[in-house]
């Protein structure tokens, strides 16, 4: 069953499951007297929001094995996109533009990205 998100007037996010065969309601009653409206932004699963508190971002998904961290760091430098790589092999992207360029240098495409 799909998970749907709702926001109360106080800003609290509430999750509810509804069968995929039905249409999720626009409003739900959380508790007596407390209603919440559907929040499509909270349902986003495509990636981080482009807010400034997201960056820098350590990306585990585009990381490599720890023993290949040096190779990845050198590859980024040779590709013209100097990128810090943790000892675990995860690149650290400074901002959305840097992330986009680094992924492109490696031939990766993030089709679920907000970028």
**pLDDT number for residue 31:** 87
Going along 1-115, which residue ranges are E strands? Answer: 3-8, 13-17, 27-31, 34-38, 57-58, 84-85, 91-93
For the stretch 37-77, pLDDT in tens is: 998 888 875 555 555 567 888 999 899 999 999 999 999 99
Q: Which residue in 37, 45, 2 sits closest to 21, CA to CA? A: 2
Which pLDDT score is estimated for 107?
Answer: 93
């Amino acid at each position: 069953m799909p998970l749907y998100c709702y926001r109360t007037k106080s800003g609290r996010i509430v999750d509810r499951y509804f069968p995929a065969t039905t249409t999720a309601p626009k409003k739900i009653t959380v508790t007596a007297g407390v209603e919440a409206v559907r929040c499509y932004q909270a349902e986003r699963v495509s990636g981080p929001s482009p807010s400034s508190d997201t960056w820098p971002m350590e990306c585990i998904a585009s990381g490599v094995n720890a023993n290949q961290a040096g190779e990845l760091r050198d590859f980024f430098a040779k590709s013209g996109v100097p990128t810090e790589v943790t000892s675990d092999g995860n690149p650290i992207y400074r901002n959305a533009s840097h992330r986009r360029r680094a992924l492109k240098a490696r031939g990766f495409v993030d089709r679920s990205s907000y970028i």
